[in-house]
Amino acid sequence: MRWESVLSTTEDQVYHLYKKDKHLLTLTIHPFSNSARVECNKQKRVFFIRKEGFLRNKTVLLCEYGTRIGELGHENNETYITMNDERFYYSNNNEPGGELNIYKDNKETPIVTCKGADEFKKDKKLSDISHPGLLMAVCWYMFLPAMKEKTRELASV
């Protein structure tokens, strides 16, 4: 998969997620309101990205109704995202254009690899608002019923 930045203004950052040449979803990030709008398969969702905790050091993902659906964190020198009570670990590297690997247990066998967004370079901080939005959108896409079935098939092969 790969992210392409389509439009960036002071009000919006728009990204498209592709798998090969097929457009999978559109993500529009609004930095002012810390919201992310996702459009995929005629479904539209709004998510909010908030900082919580002492010194506001925890990034939390909320659905459009204000219910917590996920959070970003660190554990044993690994970064993770929890979505729908399921934990995924992720790592980014300094490949040209940036690369994000999402994995369950083993870093060597990623479930999803996304390329193409400079936000995934190692020198970028997790606190950058688009990074959590891009990561959240990929994980949300993995939880769609059709995609979840494909992920199970890939895991059993």
Predicted pLDDT of residue 131: 66
pLDDT at 152 over 80: no
Phi first, then psi: what are they for 85, rounded to 5°? 60, 25
As a whole number, the mean pLDDT across the chain is: 75
pLDDT tier at 3, thresholds 50, 70, 90: confident
How many other C-beta atoms are found inside a 10 Å radius of the C-beta of residue 47? 22
Backbone angles phi, psi at 94, to 5 degrees: -100, 35
- Rounded to whole angstroms, what are the CA distances from 28 to 6, 9, 69, 95, 129? 10, 11, 19, 24, 12
Q: With the C-alpha atoms ordered 61, 33, 99, 15, is the resulting torsion angle positive or negative?
A: positive
Label residue 26 exposed, middle or buried (CB < 10 Å: 0-12, 13-18, 19+). middle
Which range has highest mean pLDDT (1-5, 28-32, 111-115, 150-154)?
A: 28-32
pLDDT at 155 over 50: no
Gap between the Cα atoms of 97 and 147, Å rounded = 25
pLDDT surpasses 60 at 124: no
Measured between alpha carbons, how far is 149 from 59 in angstroms, rounded to an integer?
Answer: 28
Q: Are 140 and 26 in contact (CB under 8 A)?
A: no
Kindly state the DSSP code that residue 142 receives in the 8-state scheme: H
pLDDT in tens, 39-93: 888 888 888 888 887 777 778 888 888 888 888 887 788 888 888 788 888 887 6
Position 156 scores a pLDDT of: 40
Q: What angle is formed at CA 108 by the lines to CA 81 and CA 155, rounded to 5 degrees?
A: 75
Beta bridge partners of 133: none
Write out pLDDT tens, residues 6-40.
877 777 888 888 888 888 888 888 888 888 888 88
Q: Could you tell me which residue, 106 or 56, shows the higher pLDDT?
A: 106
Is the pLDDT at 151 greater than 80? The verdict is no
Among the listed residues 57, 64, 7, 6, the one whose alpha carbon sits nearest the alpha carbon of residue 35: 64
Q: What is the pLDDT of residue 108?
A: 82
